[in-house]
Amino acid sequence: MAKKEKEEVKKQFPIESRMPHPKGKLLAIGGREDKGEEKSELQSHSQDFIKEEILKCFVDNLKGSNPLIVIIPTAASEPEKTANDYVKVFTHLGVTNLHVLDIRDRSDAMKPENVEVISKAAGVMITGGDQLKLTAILGGTPLLEKLKERYTKENIIVAGTSAGAAALSTPMIYEGEMNKGMLKGDVRITTGLEFLKNVAIDTHFIQRGRIVRMAQCIATNPGCIGVGLEEDTAILVTEGKKAEVIGTGLVTIVNGMNITRSNIYEITNQQPFTVCGLEVHLLSSKETYVFPTFEQLHA
């Protein structure tokens, strides 16, 4: 196709209409979402607190009669206990068709019977723990590919809390507590599970003071959007780009596309970095944000 013809196609069919979007939904949760038990300090003081709001949102978005929820506690240090907590709360919310998929190593994620469970799920909950365990165990396996295929083509909801939320994104922060990320090299980043591309999710964001480590992540990846999720706070993402805030706290958006100056590539490790021109948005419940999308060069 000639260049002129390509330009005419772009005018007739805007980027939003030419790029297919996922049919599934993502629910990324900042951790410590209310399960109907003891309230946190933030929940106790917030007039906007709604009991079990985030997990009710997950349940409300399940499709089909007697929908199946699959719980994946792979990231947890105590998988059985963590899974049982979600079995208890989902049962309380009226869902009885539950399956705990106990994936402990890569061989479990390659078993046809476990992949088959994913093929039947109406919703998948990926628990908290260690996000690096999730990428190391699930990455490149038939189980993950089946889940991503269904998220792309079907009306399924995929939720992750804490580490489970961080792993939904790419790039994925997996370490960075030392010095709160203010020194170059303090923040470690790898490829996540890639449900959201060019989006970096961090959790427990305000509670654990993670704005600086997110700034370093975005300074090194300015084409990405940083999303900081506070505890008992989530974003519900539809069409792969439209995010709505749910829950008690704030969502912090860090946009580095208009960075005016940075020295992150000039300094050596363990030196403080400079970055100017970051855009930061603080969004409360029911606010929305649309992630920028770009046409792929190979399309």
The residues pairing with 272 across neighbouring beta strands, listed in sequence order, are 183
Query: Of the residues 204, 230, 262, 285, which is catalytic?
Result: 204
* Residues 201, 229 contacting (CB under 8 angstroms): yes
Long-range pairs for 130-133: beta carbons < 8 A, 24 or more residues apart: 130/75, 130/77, 130/163, 130/174, 131/75, 131/163, 131/164, 131/166, 131/167, 131/172, 131/174, 131/192, 132/174, 132/190, 133/74, 133/75, 133/163
231 is catalytic: yes
Query: Of the residues 53, 194, 230, 231, which is catalytic?
Result: 231
Q: What are phi and psi of 54, to 5 degrees?
A: -70, -45
Query: Of the residues 53, 99, 162, 230, which is catalytic?
Result: 162
Residues making up the chain, counted from first to last: 299
77 is catalytic: no
- Count Cβ neighbours within 10 Å for each residue of 61-91 and write b for 16 or more, e otherwise: bbeeeebbbbbbbbbbeebeebbebbbebbe
Q: What phi-psi label fits residue 243: left (phi over 0), alpha (psi between -120 and 50 degrees) or beta? A: beta
204 is catalytic: yes
State the catalytic residues.
162, 204, 231
